[in-house]
């Protein structure tokens, strides 16, 4: 069914659907298929109550299973806002690197992955500039190793993004620093 659309946008961890609703408000194209993936049945039900349309598909499954439904070189845009720690934390890299390699494979040649993620000081104090900079360098280098090109990287989240957790995190900017990475699939076969 999805193959009848010109574009495919996939949000990973769609939660209660607040962000996808915002994205649709901002740019709902009838030729784009919007897919949300969420493992929690209660959250996906909330998303289903909010989001309806012939171009919206909400999948109640894990990222790993749901990604396997897409052919390679198929998705135009992935969005991952506030990945759970097991999908982004430094200490858990060996667990999550495979998911991003798979995302890379599923992207079209000029496709993008937008990640909004956060650093929180271990002692719950303010995040220092040095700590912030070194974390950003480490994170971006991980995605470059997979094969992504860093298209954009900026502090904070895109201004039209809003979600349950994002709104909470933005209220505590001293202790929680956000960055957005917009990663593009490169032309070279690095995987």
Residues that bind ligand SAM (CB under 6 A): 13, 15, 19, 37-40, 43, 62-63, 81-82, 84, 163-166
Residue whose CB is less far from ligand SAM, 84 or 125: 84
Q: What is the 3-state secondary structure of 69-115? A: CCCCCCEEEEEEECCCHHHCCHHHHHHHHHHHHHHHHHEEEEEEEEE
CB of residue 187 vs ligand SAM: minimum separation in angstroms? Answer: 29
Residue whose CB is less far from ligand SAM, 96 or 143: 96
By beta carbon distance, the residue nearest ligand SAM is 13
By residue count, the chain amounts to 191
Strand (E) or helix (H) holding 148? strand 148-155
CB of residue 165 vs ligand SAM: minimum separation in angstroms? Answer: 4
Residue whose CB is less far from ligand SAM, 6 or 93: 93
CB of residue 12 vs ligand SAM: minimum separation in angstroms? Answer: 7
Residue whose CB is less far from ligand SAM, 43 or 112: 43
Question: How many other CB atoms sit within 10 Å of the CB of residue 130?
Answer: 8
d(CA 31, CA 66): 22
Q: Taking the CA of residue 119 as centre, how many other CA atoms within 13 Å lie in the half-sphere pointing to its CB?
A: 21
CB of residue 186 vs ligand SAM: minimum separation in angstroms? Answer: 26
């Amino acid at each position: 069914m999805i193959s009848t659309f010109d574009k495919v946008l996939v949000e990973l961890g769609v939660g209660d659907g607040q962000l996808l609703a915002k994205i649709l408000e901002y740019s709902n194209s009838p030729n784009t298929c919007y897919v949300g993936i969420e493992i929690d049945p209660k959250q996906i039900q909330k998303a289903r109550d909010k989001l309806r349309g012939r171009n919206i598909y909400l999948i109640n499954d894990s990222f790993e299973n749901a990604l396997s439904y897409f052919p390679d070189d198929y998705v135009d845009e992935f969005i991952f806002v506030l990945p759970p720690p097991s999908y982004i934390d430094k200490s858990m890299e060996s667990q999550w690197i495979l998911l991003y390699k798979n995302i890379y494979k599923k992207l079209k040649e000029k496709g993008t992955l937008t990640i909004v993620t956060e650093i929180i000081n271990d002692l719950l104090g303010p995040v220092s500039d040095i700590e912030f900079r070194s974390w950003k360098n480490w994170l971006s280098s991980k995605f470059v190793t997979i094969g992504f090109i860093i298209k954009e990287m900026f502090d904070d989240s895109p201004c039209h993004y809003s979600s349950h957790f994002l709104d909470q995190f933005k209220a505590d900017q001293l202790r929680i620093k956000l960055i957005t990475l917009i990663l593009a699939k490169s032309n070279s076969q690095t995987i």
